[in-house]
Structure 1
Amino acid sequence: QCKLELVVGSPASCMDLELYSARDELLGRLDRDEALLGSYPVADGCRVHVIDRSGARIGEYEDVSRVEKYEMADSDYEKRQDSVRSFLRQQRWGRYDEEAARRREAEQQQRRAQEEALAAALAVGARCQVRVPGQPSKRATVMYVGETDFKPGFWVGVRYDEPLGKHDGSVGGRRYFECQPKYGAFVKPHSVTPGDFPEEE
């Protein structure tokens, strides 16, 4: 019974064991604590049926929302000196590393400025070539330049010469430009090279 505790999750003191044959016939109860399993008529295909008398219900302890928890106000937690937050702040790790945070902010601003400058050099209606990493180059016409609702930063909406896009110029319920289905796409400014690129036939 003690070995079965790990299998069925019920204490040995709360188990009643029954032995069934391969034909699902009751062969008897395993009710002698000092007896070995071999002293019972066990054969290939037999199974041991466990009856749980503990009163526990299946899944009773799986729903953690029913477990009472200790909660502390954030203002009280902030005052503690023995908390993880206090330790991270003292070590200046993660978001508490102000110098690293300033560097990340500066890098983000620099990337945004570069992206904005590249976008400003693109004019709606201009012919271009699009090179996205991992994809073949495609020729297209610039249809939209600017910020969008679906992702931060500057984006270029293009109309491909062939149906190699993802949409018709509309994303997330907002229309940015008009084109045929599967001809439209949005790419980052650094993926767009403006120039004299005749339409592919």
Structure 2
Amino acid sequence: MDNGSQPQLVNLIISTTFNSFHTERRFSTDYTVGQLKRLLEGLTGAQPSSMVLHLFNKDGTAAGAMQSDDVQLGSLNLHNGMTVQVSDPTVRVGEFEDVSKVKKFELSEEEYANRAESLRAFKQRHKMGQFDEKEKELKSESVQKKTSEQQALADAITVGSRCLVTVADQPKKRGVVLFKGSTKFKPGIWVGVKYDEPLGKNDGSVDGHRYFECAPNYGAFVRPDSVQVGDFPEEDFMNDEL
């Protein structure tokens, strides 16, 4: 690279021998090697006094060492894409990548709650999220209303009744109601159905708790609004195939 009166810029890839650090930076060609080392200290953690720089061409072949701190980069025949490899015998390999020795900043729940400029404090001041009492009240009312509606529908369902189950994006299924009420696996009111075909997801038990008895893959739990009780006799699948 020519060393003219106007400094030019050169793109160099910076790597080290002691960690996996790898980045591309642009440097002015009027910098000296000593100035470059001071810049690389902040990037790599190596000390300028013990830092050794080696140049490599784009094809990976060695292009020599940058030995004299007083030499300007413009006189080193640098090209875009060359690599400057930083080594420092005082730095242990992997030293700056071992986070196990980094002291972590931790706050107790009480300390965080007392911080005036935290996200939680901001939400409290502006009544947002969990601190929006009106929103919480509306949400609670909505949940209670939905639960009441599901309970009313469940009250109209009799265990032992034949039923037709309609769930969005699924084929309609016939079966018999064998359970209704609350469960341990999820809040709300559920109806347990034994299907006429093995189109279910369980055998009447979930997470080790049994709600009713049926063969594997014949049982399912659905919301009351998905269940219609009535005259839905078991279909004769064999005759349908004749």
Which amino acid is 1:4 matched to? I
| Cα drift, residue 16 of structure 1 | 2.9
Match of 1:69 in 2: 105
CA 84–18 in structure 1, closer or farther in 2 if over 3 Å, else same = closer
Match of 2:171 in 1: 136
- Listed one character per residue, the Cα deviations across residues 97-152 of structure 1 (whole Å, up to 9, x for unaligned) are 22222111111111111111111111111100000011111111111111111000
Would the aligned equivalents of 1:88 and 1:94 in 2 still touch at CA under 8 Å? yes
**Alignment of structure 1 residues 14-29 onto 2, 5 Å:** 15-18=51-54, 28-29=64-65
CA 187–7 in structure 1, closer or farther in 2 if over 3 Å, else same = same
The answer on 1:10 being equivalent to 2:78 is: no
The answer on 1:186 being equivalent to 2:221 is: yes
**Structure 1 CA distance for aligned equivalents of residues 13 and 111 of structure 2:** 48
Normalising by structure 2, we get a TM-score of 0.65
Give unpaired runs (5+ residues) of structure 1: none
CA 28–109 in structure 1, closer or farther in 2 if over 3 Å, else same = same
Which amino acid is 2:22 matched to? V
Match of 1:51 in 2: 87
| Cα drift, residue 174 of structure 1 | 0.8
Aligned residue among 116, 119, 129 for 2:151: 116
| Cα drift, residue 84 of structure 1 | 3.9
**Structure 2 CA distance for aligned equivalents of residues 123 and 70 of structure 1:** 55
Normalising by structure 1, we get a TM-score of 0.77
- Listed one character per residue, the Cα deviations across residues 25-81 of structure 1 (whole Å, up to 9, x for unaligned) are 8664343563569748x9xxx976543446261522x45x83342636627844x65
**Alignment of structure 1 residues 33-48 onto 2, 5 Å:** 34-35=72-73, 39=77
**Structure 2 CA distance for aligned equivalents of residues 88 and 2 of structure 1:** 46
Other structure's SS at 1:117 match: helix
**Structure 2 CA distance for aligned equivalents of residues 4 and 54 of structure 1:** 19
Would the aligned equivalents of 1:10 and 1:54 in 2 still touch at CA under 8 Å? no
CA 31–87 in structure 1, closer or farther in 2 if over 3 Å, else same = same
The answer on 1:106 being equivalent to 2:141 is: yes
**Structure 2 CA distance for aligned equivalents of residues 173 and 166 of structure 1:** 14
Would the aligned equivalents of 2:163 and 2:227 in 1 still touch at CA under 8 Å? yes
**Structure 2 CA distance for aligned equivalents of residues 116 and 74 of structure 1:** 40
Give unpaired runs (5+ residues) of structure 2: 1-10, 16-20, 24-42, 238-242
**Structure 2 CA distance for aligned equivalents of residues 21 and 101 of structure 1:** 64
Instruction: Give the percent of matched residue pairs that are identical in Structure 1 and Structure 2.
Output: 38
Q: CA RMSD for the aligned pairs?
A: 3.6
**Structure 2 CA distance for aligned equivalents of residues 18 and 76 of structure 1:** 48
How many residues are aligned here?
Answer: 195
**Structure 1 CA distance for aligned equivalents of residues 201 and 109 of structure 2:** 47
**Structure 1 CA distance for aligned equivalents of residues 182 and 159 of structure 2:** 14
